[in-house]
Amino acid sequence: MKLTELFQKKTFVITGEVGPVKGCSRLNGGPPPDYIKEALDIKDYVHAVNITDNQGATMRLGALAASVLTKQFGLEPIFQITCRDRNRLAIQSDLLAACTLGIDNVLCLTGDHIKIGDHKSAKPVFDIDSVQMLKIAAGLNAGHDMMGNKLSQATNLALGAAANPNFEPLDLQLMKMEKKVAAGCEFFQTQPVYEPKQFETFMKKAEKLGVPVMFGMVVIKSPGMAKFINDNVTGITVPEAWIKELDSVPKADYKKKATAMTIALLKEIAPMCQGIHFMPFGWSDIIPEVLAAIRPSFPQ
């Protein structure tokens, strides 16, 4: 099922995200791997689940194989595909492969740089960028490759992209989003922000693009996690006030407090956008409670 069909029906779309393991995932009659278990935990609460692509430039099971396996377990995968590890031939070939194997949704990303991952001496590819990938993917949907050669069968993929409401200058981010939409982007998933006003400023500009925007929610599990993000993850900033509030309770109550704070934030955010993309990092179990609490805030 393409996410675009849901957006067309004005459904408020909920997605999750899991990262493939560092290892093979052949089942051999055994239990599913951890990322599938994590996805199954939220199966009844989300429309689809992002499958990350060598996230953090760390070598793992390929996102396409993991997406196919996720689909076999009854979830709708969003295959994340980055420009870091593939040239233009490989990107087109993998998009054809994805559609062939039953994938309906892709998220076209630049990809984290090799330098932040676990194979720092690898050659970064970046033959094309995310805007160009979207245009190429739209071409495959229209039945031709990027050189104009006709395909024996066109793809039928819903094309998503990332956006960062934290970006300064914001107008530069909007300029890139505008290019993505012109290239064929049909929905956005954002990086998280923790101040509704900041997201409101972003959405006032982004809504003019006429493409659904899903707010990305990284649940902050502890002050330590917030500090780690602020120190090591570019593009996301957890405000001091958020950290202080979470730290105002004993460690044993972090989960309860984080859930309450997430609910409060999303109640304000949900009316401004068309969906929420959860990145729970192991706390998938709070999603049902969060969704139940914020559902009345979904836009009609």
Partner 1 sequence: MIGTTKKPLEEILQALAGYEKIAVVGCDGCAKVCMTGGLDQVKELAATLKEEGKEVTVEVSPERTCNIMHSRNFLNPCKDQIAAADAMIVLGCGGAVQIARQTTEEMGLTIPVKVGLDSVGHMDMVIPGVMAMEQCQECGQCILNETGGICPVTKCAKSLLNGPCGGSENGKCEVDPDRDCAWVLIYNRMAALGELEQLKRYMEPKDYSKMAKPRVLYIKEGRCA
User: Binding residues for partner 1, per CB under 8 A?
Assistant: 83-84, 88, 109-113, 115-116, 124, 126-132, 135, 146, 162-164, 166-169, 171-173, 175-176, 178-179, 182-183, 191, 234-235, 237
**Number of neighbours of residue 37 by Cβ within 10 angstroms:** 13
Instruction: Report which residue type is found at 258.
Output: A
DSSP letters, 168-183, are SSHHHHHHHHHHHHHH
Q: How far is the CB of 126 from partner 1 (least distance, A)?
A: 4
Q: How far is the CB of 291 from partner 1 (least distance, A)?
A: 26
**Number of neighbours of residue 51 by Cβ within 10 angstroms:** 32
Q: How far is the CB of 172 from partner 1 (least distance, A)?
A: 5
Q: How far is the CB of 129 from partner 1 (least distance, A)?
A: 4
Q: Using the minimum distance from each CB to partner 1, give the nearer residue, 33 or 139.
A: 139
Angle between helices 130-141 and 170-183 (to 10 degrees): 20
Q: Using the minimum distance from each CB to partner 1, give the nearer residue, 81 or 258.
A: 81
Query: Distances in Å between the alpha carbon of 281 and those of 5, 205, 230, 294?
Result: 28, 30, 16, 20
Q: Using the minimum distance from each CB to partner 1, give the nearer residue, 1 or 89.
A: 89
Q: Using the minimum distance from each CB to partner 1, give the nearer residue, 55 or 284.
A: 55
CA 297 to chain CA centroid, Å, is 22
Q: How far is the CB of 273 from partner 1 (least distance, A)?
A: 18
Q: Using the minimum distance from each CB to partner 1, give the nearer residue, 54 or 284.
A: 54
Q: At 175, phi and psi to the nearest 5?
A: -60, -40
